């Protein structure tokens, strides 16, 4: 079977997963350090979703490091199917969280002058966290498309 960029058990696949972990952790860190994030359910959902994505991606990083260190082949129908389903579920949750948070951030800054009136909120940090969440989702979407293609081609 031809080795595909980003497939499990490869250095490129490991880099994709590490990128997902780093962007998800960055999104959590920035949002959690912003004052007033807990007043919006969408921002709390973003932290929960990015936490789940971080755990999923970190678990797969550990599996891929093990596979690379001990020369294990992860191109198995069952393993690939598990990775594909997990990636798609996490990707849908992450996209929903990022989009809803972006909507609330736009509502706060552009539509309602909420951020101008409430000086206790860190409104400038919300878009940074959301951008990290979208970057993490994009890397997850790339790896989930690769997984789906590999499952279909095996």
Contact between 64 and 34 (Cβ < 8 Å)? no
- Cβ atoms within 10 A of the Cβ of 83, count? 25
Q: What is the pLDDT of the chain when averaged over all its residues? A: 92
Q: What size, in residues, is the chain?
A: 154
pLDDT tens-place string over residues 29-83: 999 999 988 888 999 999 999 999 999 999 999 999 999 999 998 888 898 899 9
What confidence tier does 22 reach under pLDDT thresholds 50, 70, 90?
A: very high
* Dist CA 25 CA 50 (whole Å): 7
C-alpha R_g of the chain: 18
pTM reported for the whole predicted model: 0.93
């Amino acid at each position: 079977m031809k080795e595909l960029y980003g497939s499990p058990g490869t250095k490129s696949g490991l880099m994709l997963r590490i990128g997902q972990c780093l962007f998800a952790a960055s999104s959590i860190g920035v949002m959690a350090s912003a004052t007033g994030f807990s007043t919006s359910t969408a921002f709390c959902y973003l932290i929960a979703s990015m936490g789940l994505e971080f755990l999923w991606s970190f678990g797969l990083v550990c599996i891929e490091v093990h596979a690379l260190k001990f020369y294990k082949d992860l191109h198995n129908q069952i393993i690939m199917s598990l990775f594909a389903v997990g990636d798609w579920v996490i990707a849908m949750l992450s996209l929903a969280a990022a989009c809803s948070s972006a909507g609330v951030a736009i509502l706060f800054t552009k539509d309602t002058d909420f951020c101008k009136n409430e000086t206790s909120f860190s409104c400038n940090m919300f878009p940074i966290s959301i951008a990290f969440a979208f970057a993490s989702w994009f890397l997850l979407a790339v790896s989930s498309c690769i997984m789906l293609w590999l499952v279909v081609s095996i």
